[in-house]
């Protein structure tokens, strides 16, 4: 198979400095918007704390329970694993440390709350980064397919209306961020074969014969995390290879926003030896266009 048209050497895959700057700026704007409800909630919590006279009153402050649990270090996900009684007991244990204090306890409770909420915001931003990357790929696919005269169906997840779940056209569906039982993990992008009017369903992803391509999509722009993203993607791609018979395995690809020189060299090496079938840099529109053209031709 010939290499992607716009990748003649590893240098063609490396993210440029201007793309990194633009990516950081876009993330800063998105984070500011995402942080607004956190800031408003923090102000409300601080005002409520100032109305509490002594630390022991916090134990029975039911209206502050969720905020106090955050101050105790419990994220929303962590709370799902404990009963109400276990959470209340844990909260009592944490708050008992402030029982004898007469000054400074409000500030410490509030700072602990901000640490937990800061982690939550960071998690939301990581999810948003992935959703934006998926949406960029999906929109590019819709544009190209529409230009070729295909009718497309774009669907979003029920939990997040900004996160693309799938695009369907003719006898193909491109599915995003789906957990595959026989692989054991989520796969970022999957190209599935289906009948022309067959509705996309869960059973399709369990049928290995429907798989045409699988790919890893990494939208993070920070060069410091680029190598880790690539290692994670490489492991995921290897897991996919091992889950299929080598004679009928789907085509494999990698699309990332942050690609450093050493990564680019490894990616080109895998393109040359057949471990990867296609690759591209998410910040380079021509490479995204080529990858979509390749996917929609399979």
- Residue 59 sits in a domain whose CATH number is 1.10.238.90
Asked if 180 and 95 sit in the same domain, the reply is no
From 123, 158, 183, give the residue that closes a domain.
123
Asked if 25 and 43 sit in the same domain, the reply is no
Residue 91 falls within a domain, yes or no?
Answer: yes
Residue 238 falls within a domain, yes or no?
Answer: yes
Q: Which residues, other chains included, contact 270 with Cβ-Cβ below 8 Å and sequence gap of 6+?
A: 276, 279
The whole-model pTM stands at 0.84
Kindly state the average pLDDT of the residues 96-107. 82
From 106, 123, 140, give the residue that closes a domain.
123
Residue 50 falls within a domain, yes or no?
Answer: yes
39-43 long-range contacts, Cβ below 8 Å, gap at least 24? 41/67, 41/117, 42/110, 42/113, 42/114, 42/117
- Provide the number of structural domains found in the chain: 2
Residue 3 falls within a domain, yes or no?
Answer: no
2, pLDDT greater than 70: no
Residue 1 falls within a domain, yes or no?
Answer: no
Asked if 25 and 62 sit in the same domain, the reply is no
Asked if 71 and 182 sit in the same domain, the reply is no
Asked if 181 and 284 sit in the same domain, the reply is yes
Asked if 129 and 233 sit in the same domain, the reply is yes
pLDDT value at position 205?
A: 87
pLDDT value at position 198?
A: 75
Task: Summarize pLDDT for 109-159 with one digit per residue, the tens.
Answer: 999 999 999 999 988 888 888 888 999 999 999 999 999 999 999 888 876
Domain CATH code at residue 15? 3.40.91.10
Asked if 39 and 129 sit in the same domain, the reply is no
Asked if 183 and 36 sit in the same domain, the reply is no
Task: Summarize pLDDT for 145-195 with one digit per residue, the tens.
Answer: 999 999 999 888 876 677 899 999 999 999 999 999 889 889 999 999 988
Q: Which domain holds residue 254?
A: 10-29+125-297
Residue 4 falls within a domain, yes or no?
Answer: no
From 123, 145, 176, give the residue that closes a domain.
123
pLDDT value at position 79?
A: 87
Residue 7: pLDDT band (50, 70, 90) is: confident
Asked if 247 and 166 sit in the same domain, the reply is yes
Asked if 143 and 253 sit in the same domain, the reply is yes
Asked if 170 and 283 sit in the same domain, the reply is yes
Asked if 163 and 185 sit in the same domain, the reply is yes
């Amino acid at each position: 198979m010939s290499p992607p048209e716009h990748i003649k050497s590893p240098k063609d895959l490396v993210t440029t400095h201007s793309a990194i700057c633009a990516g950081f700026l876009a993330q800063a704007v998105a984070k500011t918007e995402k942080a607004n409800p956190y800031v408003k909630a923090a102000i409300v919590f601080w005002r409520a704390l100032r109305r509490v006279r002594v630390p022991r009153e916090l134990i029975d402050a039911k209206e502050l329970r969720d905020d106090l649990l955050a101050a105790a270090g419990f994220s929303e996900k962590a709370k799902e694993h404990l009963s109400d009684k276990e959470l209340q007991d844990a909260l009592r244990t944490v708050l008992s440390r402030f029982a004898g204090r007469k000054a400074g306890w409000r500030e410490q409770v509030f700072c602990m709350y901000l640490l937990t909420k800061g982690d939550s915001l960071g998690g939301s931003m990581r999810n948003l980064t992935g959703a934006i990357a998926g949406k960029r790929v999906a929109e590019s696919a819709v544009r190209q397919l529409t230009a070729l005269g295909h009718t497309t169906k774009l669907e979003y997840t029920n939990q997040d209306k900004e996160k693309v779940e799938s695009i369907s056209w003719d006898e193909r569906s491109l599915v995003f961020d789906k957990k595959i039982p026989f692989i054991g993990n989520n796969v970022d992008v999957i190209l599935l074969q289906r009948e022309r009017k067959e509705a996309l369903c869960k059973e399709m992803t369990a049928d290995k014969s429907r798989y045409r391509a699988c790919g890893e999509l990494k939208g993070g722009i920070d060069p410091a995390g680029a190598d880790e993203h690539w290692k994670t993607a490489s492991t995921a791609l290897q897991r996919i290879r091992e889950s299929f018979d080598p004679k009928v395995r789907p085509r494999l690809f990698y699309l990332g926003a942050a690609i450093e020189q050493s990564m680019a060299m490894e990616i080109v090496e895998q393109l040359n030896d057949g471990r990867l079938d296609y690759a591209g840099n998410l910040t380079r529109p021509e490479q995204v266009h080529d990858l979509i053209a390749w996917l929609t031709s399979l």
